[in-house]
Structure 1
Amino acid sequence: MNFNVKKDVIQLTSMWKGERFPDGRPRVPDHYLKALHALTLEEVWKPIFVKGYINQFEGELKLLHQDGRKLIGRAVTAVYCPTRPDLNECAMDIGREEGRTGTYNQWVIDSLVEGDVCVIDMYDKIYKGTFLGGNLTTAIANRTKTGGGVIWGGIRDVEQMKQVPGVQVFYRGIDPTPIREFVMTGFNTPTRIGKAICLPGDIVFGTDSGVLFIPAHLVPEVVDGAVKTKVKDMFGFEMITQNRFTTAQIDKNVWTVEMLDLLMEFIRNDHRAEEFQEIDWSEEYDLAINGDPNDTQSAL
């Protein structure tokens, strides 16, 4: 067993073809992270879901800040389990051989770089499962600049954590106890957060509704698809208000040529849609003409 193994991370994320960090994680370009801040959960979720990535969202989490701020960044993942003396001795020995110091949660924080988010499976442990407190949240802010954490477990020192500027944390519960009696079993490995699965380098998209993990290799397509969904929704609301189309027609995955033509007219002539004028809709026209074998009247 080893922790944060570059070749394993590359193998896990082999569908990513772009730049990587020294630890092997995909380095999704910053401009995509910035673009995601302007999008809603549903706009981002849809292109992932229709591609079969159906276990990427978890909504059963609490938020450190209830002020509408998003948490967007590249995932650094870790998995823990209840303590067992021989397993703990083994894991700590491996960590020391790899040059790691401090506790298991400090190992993760020490690896973070700008734009990262720690994604932690603490197996829903809250009592003595407080992965973050005031000090480590401050360390996250210093290292990531705009990051935070998704913790399937507990946090402590909440008053202190809330004073740390620029971070957002999703968590399961609060307890005053310090973290104790746990063992690391994976570092930058596949990590389960409730009903969702996250790989190292996934893009964390956290909103008031919950957290979505976007596979790195899908981010460019997801962002472009979400932008299309945004303008289609704008147009759709207008058409429903004018009784031009029904909600059933608007909600179909594949629109007709007539609907697409009207959408193009809307984008050209409505000032609200000016920012969408450079989008390529050739794929949508191709589906409208030739059909989509995977389309079964969905209302996503």
Structure 2
Amino acid sequence: MKFNNAEDIVQLTPLWQGERFPDGRPKVPSDVIARLGRITLEEAWGPLWSRGYHYQFEGDFRIIHPNKVMVGRAVTAVMVPKRPDLHETLMNYGHEQEGRRGFFNQWVIDSLGEEDVVVVDMFDKIYQGTYVGGNLSTAISTRTKTGGAVIWGGIRDNQQIAEIENINIYYRGSDPTAIADVTMVGMNVPARIGRAICLPGDVVLGTPAGVIFIPAHLAELTAVNAEKSQVRDVFGFARLNGNVYTTAQIDGAWTTAMWQDFQAWFENDEAAEPYRHLTWEQELEEARRNENDGPSGGVRL
């Protein structure tokens, strides 16, 4: 086996059609990363859930900066309890065949680039399961600039880590012990984080409610759907405040007349300016089709 093998990563992520990093990870564009950082958890969750991605969210974490949003591309690692023969084999392979230095967690952090997020299945180990402390968190800060870590396990040096403002860390618990008696069996492989699954290159969105892993091939679609939901809400609030429409009209299927009203507002109101990269032809056509076919009674959730 090889750690961080590009051929394996490409095989795992065939639906991604864009640029990739040298290690094979999907390279979701930075502008899409930034857009996803401005959406809510529920806005990200909806497009994934409706497409059958039901195991992308995990909320049972402690958070270093509870009110700070974290977003970036996943670099994954899977750890298991130490078995001496396996441990020695993999450690020797990494050192001798791949030229790696230090312990397994250092291998992963040494590979990070800007906008990366470490995602680690530490099998919920906290005592001697502290994947990062002050030093490695500083290294994450230096390498990722705006990223962080999601650790299904422990950390140490919480007071030092809390002083690092540009990243965030989601973790299960704290302990003063150093990492020990664990072996990494995969780097940039599928990782289970609680009840969620993360693949290398997924966009990791960390919010006050927890973490959602957005598949790379759905990242831009998720951003678009979320932004459309946001700007429709801005319009809806404005029209409700003006007593133009009822809540039933705003929450229901919009008529062609409502869509035309929205488009006029969208093209001219200052509040819509950040969203003007979006287009609405499909929605307007659907409204016309529904009016021709009769009311559907659908409600926008």
TM-score by length of 1: 0.91
SS in 2 for 1:92: helix
1:1-300 to structure 2, matched below 5 A, reads 1-66=1-66, 68-96=67-95, 97-241=97-241, 245=245, 247=247, 249-252=249-252, 255-290=254-289, 297=298, 299-300=300-301
SS in 1 for 2:18: coil
Is the alpha carbon distance of 1:144 and 1:261 closer, same or farther for their aligned partners in structure 2, counting shifts above 3 Å? same
Taking the aligned partners of 1:116 and 1:259, their CA distance within structure 2 comes to 42
Q: How many residues align?
A: 296
Amino acid at match of 1:14: P
How far is the alpha carbon of 1:22 from its aligned partner?
Answer: 0.8
**8 Å Cα contact 1:248-1:299 kept in structure 2:** no
Taking the aligned partners of 1:99 and 1:112, their CA distance within structure 2 comes to 16
Identity %: 51
Higher alpha-carbon deviation: 49-58 or 195-204: 49-58
How far is the alpha carbon of 1:133 from its aligned partner?
Answer: 0.3
Higher alpha-carbon deviation: 232-241 or 28-37: 232-241
How far is the alpha carbon of 1:248 from its aligned partner?
Answer: 5.1
Taking the aligned partners of 1:275 and 1:161, their CA distance within structure 2 comes to 34
How far is the alpha carbon of 1:208 from its aligned partner?
Answer: 1.1
Is the alpha carbon distance of 1:285 and 1:209 closer, same or farther for their aligned partners in structure 2, counting shifts above 3 Å? same
Taking the aligned partners of 1:239 and 1:113, their CA distance within structure 2 comes to 45
Taking the aligned partners of 1:191 and 1:179, their CA distance within structure 2 comes to 19
Is the alpha carbon distance of 1:275 and 1:139 closer, same or farther for their aligned partners in structure 2, counting shifts above 3 Å? closer
SS in 1 for 2:204: strand
How far is the alpha carbon of 1:33 from its aligned partner?
Answer: 1.7
Taking the aligned partners of 2:25 and 2:276, their CA distance within structure 1 comes to 34
SS in 2 for 1:184: strand
Show structure 2 runs of 5+ residues with no match. Answer: none
The C-alpha deviation readout for 1:119-163, integer Å capped at 9, x for no partner, is 001011111111010010011111112111000110001111122
SS in 2 for 1:39: coil
Amino acid at match of 1:6: A
Taking the aligned partners of 1:278 and 1:153, their CA distance within structure 2 comes to 40
How far is the alpha carbon of 1:276 from its aligned partner?
Answer: 3.0
How far is the alpha carbon of 1:107 from its aligned partner?
Answer: 1.1
Taking the aligned partners of 2:250 and 2:74, their CA distance within structure 1 comes to 35
The C-alpha deviation readout for 1:2-30, integer Å capped at 9, x for no partner, is 21110010111111111111100011111
**8 Å Cα contact 1:130-1:154 kept in structure 2:** yes
Is the alpha carbon distance of 1:248 and 1:195 closer, same or farther for their aligned partners in structure 2, counting shifts above 3 Å? farther
Taking the aligned partners of 1:220 and 1:179, their CA distance within structure 2 comes to 37
Taking the aligned partners of 2:165 and 2:279, their CA distance within structure 1 comes to 39
Taking the aligned partners of 1:245 and 1:82, their CA distance within structure 2 comes to 59
Is the alpha carbon distance of 1:215 and 1:142 closer, same or farther for their aligned partners in structure 2, counting shifts above 3 Å? same
**8 Å Cα contact 1:239-1:245 kept in structure 2:** yes
**8 Å Cα contact 1:25-1:201 kept in structure 2:** yes
Taking the aligned partners of 1:52 and 1:298, their CA distance within structure 2 comes to 20
Amino acid at match of 2:282: E
Higher alpha-carbon deviation: 269-278 or 162-171: 269-278
**8 Å Cα contact 1:58-1:210 kept in structure 2:** yes
Taking the aligned partners of 2:14 and 2:158, their CA distance within structure 1 comes to 38
Taking the aligned partners of 1:31 and 1:38, their CA distance within structure 2 comes to 11
Is the alpha carbon distance of 1:298 and 1:150 closer, same or farther for their aligned partners in structure 2, counting shifts above 3 Å? farther
